Amino acid sequence: MIAGILIAIGTGLSWTIVGIVMTRISRHGLNAKQYFGLNSLFSLIFSLLSISSYKEFAEAGGWHANTSLCLLMVAAGAFNVAGLLALQRAMKLSHKGIAWSIGQSAIVLPFLAGILIFGQKGTYSQYAGGLLILGGMSIPSLLRKQAAPGSGANHKCLWLFLALAAFFLLGVSQTLTSTPSYWKGWLDHGNMRPALLYAGGFVASIALCLSERVNLFAWDKRTWLYAAGMAGLNMISIKLTFFSLDRLSASGVGSIGYPLLVGSCIAGFSLYSLLIIKEVSHPLNWVALAMTLAGIAAMTI
């Protein structure tokens, strides 16, 4: 169990790199839609080479026998990219640590979906945790000076709208991703979920790039390096995520897996915000962060 907990925390901390790269995209003036499109493409290729097996998937009936799975995962991938784009924009316009915390708090939505849609039973502690997370999200909206310096008065509300949009979009993506787990007798033949998720993200990115006349494959060394490098990290983190979840489930504490991953991810980026880029933060923002982390911890009980 200890190994599972440590690996989950380490994997969650590695997710912090995603947020760091998103801040650097803004800093270097790179096109976020191109980055997420290339990252989805590289991740799709890498997952087909190292994680998913199309041969096993085809032997189990392929697309025709798994239509619902394909539609769910592709939609989840599209919502994920849309949510990350909204979060990246929110982080550009406001306090990065707070925007990141709001977006990552989306974990509460699949929990609520499990109870309201799929008939799962939650504990009083989990309900309290959900309320703490929602309360932690509401505090930044009470503060007026959250916009980034020089971003303009109109952005003081826009950043919050984008952060909440990211919360909703990422939560929908996580809910769709977890839905097959509720199907009776369902088996993930060929472990195709990662590939299908990245395929959905790639399709959504193409649509967004076309709508704004962005050349997805335009050469920009920094964008291509970030996209390929993060795709490699995606493969490592996916394998470590499933490994830690399996170890925790074998020890009878599988429910603490995702809260550990997300909690360490939020904590890691908050430390980056405080110690590395030295963002000035209102004391209430740290109260909100503490409520969010406490809520995630409560959801493990």
Decide which of 171 and 286 is more confident.
171
Q: Does pLDDT of 89 surpass 60?
A: yes
Q: What single letter denotes the amino acid at residue 288?
A: A
At which residue do the structure tokens 């839905």 appear? Answer: 179
Q: Which residues pair with 94 in a beta bridge?
A: 147
The model's confidence at residue 270, banded by pLDDT at 50, 70 and 90, is confident
The model's confidence at residue 264, banded by pLDDT at 50, 70 and 90, is confident
Res 60: pLDDT:
80
Alpha carbon distance 274, 289 (integer Å): 12
What average pLDDT does this structure show over 224-242? 90
Q: Does pLDDT of 26 surpass 90?
A: no
Contacts of 27 (CB under 8 A, 6+ apart): none
Alpha carbon distance 112, 57 (integer Å): 31
The model's confidence at residue 255, banded by pLDDT at 50, 70 and 90, is low
The model's confidence at residue 164, banded by pLDDT at 50, 70 and 90, is very high
Rg (CA), the chain: 19
Res 182: pLDDT:
80
Q: Does pLDDT of 118 surpass 70?
A: yes
